[in-house]
């Protein structure tokens, strides 16, 4: 790890050795899997969601979408809660103590489930509880948060799902009962059709699945931003994290920690440590010494009324020394305002530039930026 950058995170009265921890999924579906996440460099530990009964998980339940996203219909743990209390949490707790890491248990879904499971988890030595609202209707949110709050004294985190509605508003309602938030769960329901067989790769009713991975990252970042705007409590960013730069982005939106599921499923448990190391390298390369220095940077600018978006007073500008005349900008310009004939650097026609900003985002050489007209 980078010697000059402090990657540790202190929240919920616990120390995470770095900001990258697992999100609930098959990557933490047993004590043995949780041990692998510690070995893979995770900053803290988390166990797959359990509920009052084992989940009736349909098969098949996972399919890749694009390069780095997934559809799933895995529900919660297929193992009965008794198995977790008798065996899996024991392995996870021993790992947590061995590595000096906090252990988060994830539970769902009804007030009765939470009131029954919460105290057992606290007694077992679990450090923090995350509870999921994924399968709840909005009228029951408050009742479930209250039930868990009344049942345990360890920190509790509400994991929000974007289909639940306005997450800022939901966070405001739940805030008095919880110690923090995690945003977001997988997005959906969605449908993917294998056109050769006119069938879905998901074994669920209707063939629906839930989307995760890089396709949902902008939705997750927006959700973290909206929740961080209404609470001073820690917000955990979840959704599409697969690199150190993603960690920085979530922190700038207001996150205090990130969780990773899809990237760990597709690339393996070493990914947690790798992402954390990349975040450290980014911070060092940009002259920062800790994550606290980037935390909430976007949020702060927004609150202080500083510009965070491109406006019509700006125009695309070519940094000539960096342009490789690849022509990508010309291809995407919908306003015929930028031209990069083969082997000639790009030129912007300022009077035609609509300040959309697309060319800046597609340039592979960072040779374009928006500047005042
Ligand atoms: C196969 C699979 C199973 C999941 N199971 C759970 C679960 O049991 N409980 C839960 O809260 N979230 C579950 N999730 C959602 C993830 O924890 C996470 O919120 C979401 O996938 C977004 O993060 P990612 O893009 O890093 O995967 C699951 C996701 C996947 C892909």
8 A C-beta contact, residue 299 and residue 229: yes
Q: Is 171 in the pocket of ligand 1 (CB under 6 A)?
A: no
Joined together, the tokens standing for residue 37 give 């996440």
Q: Is residue 2 part of a domain?
A: no
* Of residues 78, 92, 40, 15, the one with CA closest to residue 268: 40
Indicate the pTM of the whole model.
0.96
Q: Is residue 1 part of a domain?
A: no
8 A C-beta contact, residue 149 and residue 156: yes
- 189 alpha carbon – ligand 1 mean position (Å): 13
336 and 189 in a common domain: no
Last residue of a domain, one of 254, 281, 303: 303
8 A C-beta contact, residue 28 and residue 312: no
Residue 294's Cβ-side half-sphere holds a number of Cα atoms within 13 Å equal to: 29
pLDDT, one tens digit per residue, over 266-305 is 999 999 999 999 999 999 999 999 999 999 999 999 889 8
Give per-residue burial for 154-181: e unless 16+ CB within 10 Å, then b. bbbbbbbbbebeebeebbeebbebbbbb
8 A C-beta contact, residue 365 and residue 322: yes
- Range with the poorest average pLDDT among 13-27, 74-88, 337-351: 337-351
Q: Is 133 in the pocket of ligand 1 (CB under 6 A)?
A: no
> Which residue has its alpha carbon closest to ligand 1 atom 19?
185
- 166 alpha carbon – ligand 1 mean position (Å): 20
289 and 176 in a common domain: yes
- 261 alpha carbon – ligand 1 mean position (Å): 6
Query: Which pLDDT belongs to residue 105?
Result: 99
325 and 295 in a common domain: no
User: 351 exposed, middle or buried (CB, 10 Å; 0-12, 13-18, 19+)?
Assistant: exposed
> Which residue has its alpha carbon closest to ligand 1 atom 3?
25
Joined together, the tokens standing for residue 129 give 């509880």
Beta strand 314-318 with 187-190: parallel, antiparallel or unpaired? Answer: unpaired
Q: Is residue 83 part of a domain?
A: yes
Phi, psi dihedral angles at 283 (to 5 degrees) = -60, -45
Q: Is residue 308 part of a domain?
A: no
283 and 332 in a common domain: no
Q: Is 162 in the pocket of ligand 1 (CB under 6 A)?
A: no
Joined together, the tokens standing for residue 232 give 């001073």
- 362 alpha carbon – ligand 1 mean position (Å): 30
Question: Three-state SS for 43?
Answer: coil
Q: Is residue 122 part of a domain?
A: yes
Q: Is 37 in the pocket of ligand 1 (CB under 6 A)?
A: no
Q: Is residue 309 part of a domain?
A: no
243 and 128 in a common domain: yes
Q: What is the CATH number of the domain that holds 336?
A: 3.30.70.20
- 264 alpha carbon – ligand 1 mean position (Å): 11
Domain enclosing residue 321, as ranges: 314-372
Phi, psi dihedral angles at 258 (to 5 degrees) = -130, 155
Q: Is 188 in the pocket of ligand 1 (CB under 6 A)?
A: no
205 and 135 in a common domain: yes
Q: What is the CATH number of the domain that holds 140?
A: 3.20.20.70
* Of residues 345, 337, 343, 336, the one with CA closest to residue 318: 345
Which positions ≥6 away from 134 have C-beta within 8 Å?
Answer: 108, 109, 159, 161, 185
DSSP state of 23: P
343 and 234 in a common domain: no
360 and 284 in a common domain: no
Last residue of a domain, one of 303, 331, 352: 303
Last residue of a domain, one of 278, 303, 328: 303
Q: Is 161 in the pocket of ligand 1 (CB under 6 A)?
A: no
Using the predicted structure, report yes or no on whether residue 1 has a pLDDT greater than 60. Answer: no
Using the predicted structure, report yes or no on whether residue 2 has a pLDDT greater than 60. Answer: no
8 A C-beta contact, residue 17 and residue 43: yes
Query: Which pLDDT belongs to residue 312?
Result: 81
Question: Which atom of ligand 1 lies nearest, measured to the CA of 216?
Answer: 25
DSSP bridge pairs for 181:
158, 235
Q: Is residue 4 part of a domain?
A: no
Secondary structure element (H or E) that encloses residue 116, with its range: helix 111-124
- 249 alpha carbon – ligand 1 mean position (Å): 20
- 106 alpha carbon – ligand 1 mean position (Å): 11
299 and 318 in a common domain: no
- 184 alpha carbon – ligand 1 mean position (Å): 9
- 366 alpha carbon – ligand 1 mean position (Å): 33
Per-residue pLDDT averaged across 201-229, rounded? 98
Per-residue pLDDT averaged across 205-222, rounded? 98
Question: Which atom of ligand 1 lies nearest, measured to the CA of 238?
Answer: 23
8 A C-beta contact, residue 70 and residue 212: yes
* Of residues 133, 78, 131, 127, the one with CA closest to residue 99: 127
Using the predicted structure, report yes or no on whether residue 171 has a pLDDT greater than 60. Answer: yes
Number of folded domains that form the chain? 2
191 and 152 in a common domain: yes
Question: Which atom of ligand 1 lies nearest, measured to the CA of 69?
Answer: 25
* Mutate which of 20, 23, 209, 211 for ligand 1 pocket (most atoms within 8 A of beta carbon): 23
Q: Is 148 in the pocket of ligand 1 (CB under 6 A)?
A: no
Tell whether the torsion through CA atoms of 4, 9, 10 and 14 is positive or negative. Answer: negative
pLDDT, one tens digit per residue, over 115-154 is 999 999 999 999 999 999 999 988 899 999 999 999 999 9
8 A C-beta contact, residue 102 and residue 12: yes
58 and 140 in a common domain: yes
8 A C-beta contact, residue 235 and residue 93: no
Q: Is residue 318 part of a domain?
A: yes
224 and 263 in a common domain: yes
* Of residues 65, 150, 159, the one with CA closest to residue 109: 159
pLDDT, one tens digit per residue, over 303-319 is 898 878 778 889 999 99
How far is residue 301's CA from residue 160's CA, in Å, rounded to a whole number?
25
pLDDT, one tens digit per residue, over 42-72 is 999 999 999 999 999 999 999 999 999 999 9
Helix-helix angle 271-285:244-253, to 10 degrees? 70
The share of the chain scoring above pLDDT 70, in percent, equals: 99
Annotate 342-371 with DSSP letters as a single string: TTS--EE-TTT-----HHHHH-TTS-EEEE
How far is residue 86's CA from residue 26's CA, in Å, rounded to a whole number?
19
Q: In what order do the strands lie in the sheet with 209-213?
A: 62-65, 69-72, 209-213, 187-190
């Amino acid at each position: 790890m980078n010697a000059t950058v402090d990657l540790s995170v202190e929240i919920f009265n616990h120390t995470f050795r770095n900001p990258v921890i697992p999100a609930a999924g098959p990557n933490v579906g047993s004590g043995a899997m949780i041990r692998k996440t510690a070995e893979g460099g995770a900053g803290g530990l988390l166990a797959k969601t359990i509920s009052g009964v084992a989940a009736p998980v349909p098969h098949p339940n996972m399919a890749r979408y694009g390069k780095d996203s997934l559809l799933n219909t895995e529900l919660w743990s297929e193992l009965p809660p008794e198995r977790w209390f008798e065996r899996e949490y024991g392995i996870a707790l021993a790992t947590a103590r061995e590595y000096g890491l906090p252990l988060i248990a994830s539970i769902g879904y009804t007030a009765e489930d939470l009131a029954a499971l919460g105290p057992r988890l606290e007694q077992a030595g679990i450090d923090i509880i995350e509870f999921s609202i994924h399968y709840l209707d909005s009228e029951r949110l408050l009742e479930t948060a209250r039930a868990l709050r009344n049942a345990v004294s360890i920190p509790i985190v509400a994991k929000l799902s974007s289909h639940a509605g306005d997450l800022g508003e939901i966070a405001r309602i739940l805030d008095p009962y919880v110690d923090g938030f995690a945003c977001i769960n997988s997005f959906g329901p969605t449908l993917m059709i294998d056109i050769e067989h006119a069938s879905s790769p998901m074994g669920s009713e209707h063939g629906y699945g839930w989307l995760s991975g890089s396709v949902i990252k902008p939705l997750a970042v927006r959700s973290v931003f909206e929740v961080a705007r209404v609470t001073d409590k820690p917000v955990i960013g979840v959704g599409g994290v697969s690199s150190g730069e993603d960690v920085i982005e979530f922190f700038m939106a207001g996150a205090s920690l990130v969780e990773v599921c899809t990237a760990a499923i597709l690339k393996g448990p070493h990914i947690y440590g790798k992402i954390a190391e990349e975040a450290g390298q980014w911070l060092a390369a940009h002259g920062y010494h800790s994550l606290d220095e980037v935390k909430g940077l976007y949020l702060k600018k927004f609150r202080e009324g500083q510009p965070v978006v491109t406006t019509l007073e700006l125009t695309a500008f070519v940094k000539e020394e960096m342009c490789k005349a690849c022509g990508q900008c010309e291809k995407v310009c919908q306003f015929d305002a930028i031209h990069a004939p083969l082997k000639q650097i790009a030129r912007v026609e300022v009077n035609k530039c609509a300040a959309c900003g697309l060319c800046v985002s597609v340039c592979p050489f960072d040779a374009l930026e928006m500047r005042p007209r």
